[in-house]
Amino acid sequence: MKDAIRREVVFNSKSGVQCDEMVEEVSVRDPALKSNTLKLISLYQYGDSEIPMPSLRDSDWQSVQLALAAVLYHAPELSYEVIVKSISSMLSSKITNAYNIINGLPRVPTFIMRDILERIPKSDLETDLLLELYPLLKGSDSSFQTLRNLVHFTKIYHVSRLEQLVRNIVNQEKLSDYEWNNLVFDIGDTAHNIQSKEFSFALLRSQRVILEHIKVHDGNVTAPGYLGMALSLSGVSSTRSKQFYNSSMGHIRTDEEREQFKRVTLKLSESPNELVENFNQTILDSKDDLTLWDEFLQASFERDVNIQYDNELLESHLASPKIKSKSTILSKMSPEEIFAKSSELDNKSLSILFKKLYQHEEPISIFPSGHDCARYLFQSLANPSRQIVGQVLYGESKLDPEGALDRYRSMLSKYCDGFPNEKCLLSLMVPALALPGLKWARIASSRTAVYEFRKFVHPTQDCASLIPSTNLWKTYILLCGRYGYHEELSEVFEIWESLRYVPDRQTLSMFLGAFPNHMGERIRDHGVEHLSPNDYDEISRDVWDWPSTKEIAFWRDRMNK
């Protein structure tokens, strides 16, 4: 090892400076070179530079000293503190810790910033840290993958900050038309799954910044750009979405763009029959394309399309480590089949498995029940995802509702940076609905569940906010209606309007039925008169499907049962 490092250092040293001379010169500048070398070895070996190393052969520590001396000789602006903190940052498993270690340093090496920026954030807090770090990186030092990573996770965790991020990228980076158009595509990807027009508008504003930049610099909008716009518009206007989708056809030039077009075709399918028909057409010449199978399986799962999942071809795809929709296939299997057919599971697949285990009351292998197996598996996970934590909290809340709040607070603090997902919130709501007299810390469980919902669901997206699904809205409305939280219930309307969320007929019926007699009917009459125009701009106005007074009365009666 020493000889290899010595040869490398000699090859790279300035003016042919010999290794021994270099070590000697650095030692004069920094008399603590040897002790610092030993601290570096301890840091690498044990994660702590203060833990003393056992006795080492001279050749071992001298090799590391030579490497350290080479760094300090050729980059004298890097202090020992910077080097130690850089190594500590790279060894940290969490973005939060890695960022905090280097925060405040007068100069952070570029490779350290890139190391952090290319990591996968697991919360809005970690995403915020990446957004704070990115402007410090020179455009020439960033990679396109870094930018895609930032865009993707900002969209997921903090969409309100996406437009500013894109403006920073436009001002800081010099990208090709290919890269700009693919960023537009990345921004729009998955937009069709989010039931919030405000979310879609945030994506569209961000895409517009890039498209204007392309236009100003005489660039070209290509197929990925049109397809990305079609995806974002699908959450706002199906007519406009279709226009951009059709426009993309005349700009397809490469195999990559053809594959993107096929994927978007599946994503934008409006009915189960259309999905199956589109898939049959696109897969004819791409039977082994795992990406298309991924899109089809995920879309079929979302639309509840009935597919025979015991097909040999599907099972062969399940065995592939590259397939992303493995969780979709697993959702159709029993826990025993999952254990038998799957050796490696990603976080989403594990989440499906935990859900099934908590529903499984029969013995599994050596475990007396599914939840015993789930508890054992959870203890074996060093860093479970928020998805998994949510499934565990939800499953445990049905087994031990009295301990639901303590588990919720403990797991959110330990694994989720204090921010829940839907399942976490449901782990409080469901016991509160099932057990009217249940209390946590001497406070009614219903009151605590409502408080936690309001804490993380906001009328605006200026701060970290959870965007509820229709299922979560229904559960929250039922909770407020059953326990008479009418003031909290009135806030729901404000949030819906702010997020441009359009409730379906049943959700709206439940909402109006949760109010006392005649109040819900008055809200309905006002809405029918003022919020249901005959002519409207499909993008800027929302038309709600108002229920009849009989439907409202039906749900009011159900609230108290």
Closest CA to 60 of 81, 42, 80: 42
Supply the mean pLDDT for the chain: 81
Kindly report, residue by residue over 247-277, the tens digit of the pLDDT.
Answer: 999 999 999 999 999 989 988 888 888 888 8
**Rg of the chain, C-alpha, whole Å:** 28
Contact indicator for 440, 448 with CB cutoff of 8 Å:
yes
Residue 16 has pLDDT above 50, yes or no: no
Kindly report, residue by residue over 299-334, the tens digit of the pLDDT.
Answer: 766 666 655 544 555 555 555 555 555 555 666 666
Over the range 209-223, which residues count as b (16 or more CB within 10 Å of their CB) and which as e?
A: bbbebbeeeebebbb
Residue 351 has pLDDT above 90, yes or no: no
Higher pLDDT, 179 or 15: 179
Higher pLDDT, 330 or 189: 189
* Range in 175-184, 269-278, 487-496 with the lowest mean pLDDT: 269-278
The average pLDDT across 436-463 equals: 88
Residue 7 has pLDDT above 60, yes or no: no
The reported pLDDT for the residue numbered 329 is: 60
* Range in 122-126, 236-240, 457-461 with the lowest mean pLDDT: 457-461
Residue 353 has pLDDT above 70, yes or no: yes
Could you report how far apart the first and last alpha carbons of the chain are, in Å?
75
